[in-house]
Amino acid sequence: MTRADGDLLGSLAAVVGPQNVGADAASLRVHENDGSTLHPARPHAVVWPSTAEEVAAVVRTCAARGTPFVARGAGTGLSGGAMALEGGVVIALNRMNAILGIDAPNLRARVQPGVTNLSVSRAVAPLGLYYAPDPSSQAVCTVGGNVAHNSGGPHTLKHGVTVNHVLGLQLVLPDGDLVELGGAERPGYDLLALLCGSEGTLGIVTAITVRLLRRPAGVRTLLAAFETPQQASLAVAEVIASGTVPAALEMMDSVVVEALTAAFGFTFPEGAGALLLLEADGPLPGLDEEADALAATCRRCGALSVRLATDETERAEVWKARKRAFGALGRIARNYYTQDGVIPRTRLPEMLQRVADIGASAGLRIANVFHAGDGNLHPCILFDDRDADQRRAVLAAGAEILRACVDLGGSLSGEHGVGVEKREAMARLFTPSDLAAMAALRAAFDPAGLCNPGKILPTGGGCVEVPPRHRQAAL
Ligand SMILES: Cc1cc2nc3c(=O)[nH]c(=O)nc-3n(C[C@H](O)[C@H](O)[C@H](O)COP(=O)(O)OP(=O)(O)OC[C@H]3O[C@@H](n4cnc5c(N)ncnc54)[C@H](O)[C@@H]3O)c2cc1C
């Protein structure tokens, strides 16, 4: 690998100070992966700016030299989005982690991109407010990363994903210009919506105005245990078909139950082959009726048991199990590869069977923990990355799962983004003309192709010819 030359490092140090530039082996090593370990790529340098102006100056430095750059939040992404595929500079936003202002009467807050998701809700909790998008990684992932991935979470079924809760953005464009998008009623193109989910390819977000919601008057949380995932997925389809939109509707299968028990000592009903976590929230009148209706649907679909959390402690315990599910898998496997396909909810039983069949024929164990109400699957394929054959088998099984999602009328990604992981699969979902339109739009923002190159758009030349400027870049 080419090392960053002294000239580049000197220019970066002149902007952010030498103590905020990393080019030593340890700094580069910890930035060569995100939450997925299947697409490692080592940058030439890492910088930790403190202000939007510093970010802009770093970007201008890179642009002037033709050096690629990529924004990074907490690095919890699961699609290789924050990897420096062509080397260059990782711009780590972790030090820009201030809450700049809270405007409670107008239900909004302004935050820096490195603020963690959960700390927004924590900061406004004394005001009876919260920030709705709640990825399971919310204790560590950043709001900037959430914007880039248009992240969801258990409660986005009812309340919407990140794009529905972002009111304004400050953005450093790929040429180093600083612009404000949204923020007030502004006519013209809805660039705010475009930026949400653009995976750091159109610029670097340096401040975000988020929408705050009032805490609901009441919450009812239920845990239903089923003998089989098929019964649980039938219940999901029935709940959605009934017209009720629960605040959350999450599923965990028996492999996850085994992992949670092994890792944290959680106990679940005997014989549980699948668990559904259902939540209703809103004004008190009608809330118990909604919870009763959810419980009745589960029982009709064969639930072994349905337990209503009786107090906040019990509720927190149920959610702790769900939010620790991914981490718990580490107790039963050395590595896991999380997929992020989407399918119409009515196809859930069929799709879960397909996932099981794909795992069985590849000789791989697959755990399922996912946002069932959204039809957003997360099959986690367990493996040992020291075994090259297993790595190959895991990637093939992941691709097959995604193919099955698309074949069933679904999509490649619900919330983890395309990144490098799924870019070649984009041609299964989009026509060459669709992809060419996306490439043209990206080139309008980033004609030099330096801003997070190699992500989202296919490079294989199969169905669409992506302009070469999006494939090449030199340090
Ligand atoms: C255990 C676990 C559970 C998870 N659960 C969920 C879940 O429930 N829902 C969900 O949606 N995701 C989930 N994720 C995925 C991940 O946490 C989200 O994608 C998250 O939004 C990534 O944030 P980050 O700060 O870690 O971003 P990173 O991984 O650092 O970066 C992600 C992408 O955002 C870009 N980016 C980062 N900051 C900026 C910025 N300031 N400006 C422009 N681009 C930027 C990067 O270039 C990259 O393309 C989970 C991940 C893990 C490991």
How much is the average pLDDT of 315-326?
Answer: 92
Query: Is the model's pLDDT at 173 over the cut of 80?
Result: yes
- pLDDT on residue 267: 87
Query: Is the model's pLDDT at 462 over the cut of 70?
Result: no
Distance CA 378, CA 416 (A): 10
Which protein residue has the closest C-alpha to ligand 1 atom 9?
135
Query: Is the model's pLDDT at 422 over the cut of 70?
Result: yes
Task: Name residues whose C-beta falls within 8 Å of residue 187's C-beta, 6 or more positions apart in sequence.
Answer: none
Note the pLDDT tens digit of each residue in 242-258. 988 999 999 999 999 99
Identify whether the C-beta of residue 471 lies closer than 8 Å to the C-beta of residue 4. Answer: no
For tokens 């590849």, name the residue: 362
Query: Is the model's pLDDT at 466 over the cut of 60?
Result: no
Global pTM reads 0.93
pLDDT tier, 188 (very low <50, low <70, confident <90, very high otherwise): confident
- pLDDT on residue 6: 77
Note the pLDDT tens digit of each residue in 347-372. 998 999 999 999 999 999 999 999 99
Identify whether the C-beta of residue 210 lies closer than 8 Å to the C-beta of residue 143. Answer: yes
Q: Is the CB of 197 under 6 A from ligand 1?
A: no
Helices 229-241 & 287-300 angle (0-180, nearest 10): 140
Note the pLDDT tens digit of each residue in 42-94. 999 999 999 999 999 999 999 999 999 999 999 999 999 999 999 999 999 99
| 132 CA → ligand 1 middle, Å | 16
Best of 37, 149, 159 to mutate for ligand 1, by most ligand atoms within 8 A of CB? Answer: 149
Query: Is the model's pLDDT at 286 over the cut of 50?
Result: yes
Strand, coil or helix: what is 17? Answer: coil
Q: Is the CB of 454 under 6 A from ligand 1?
A: no
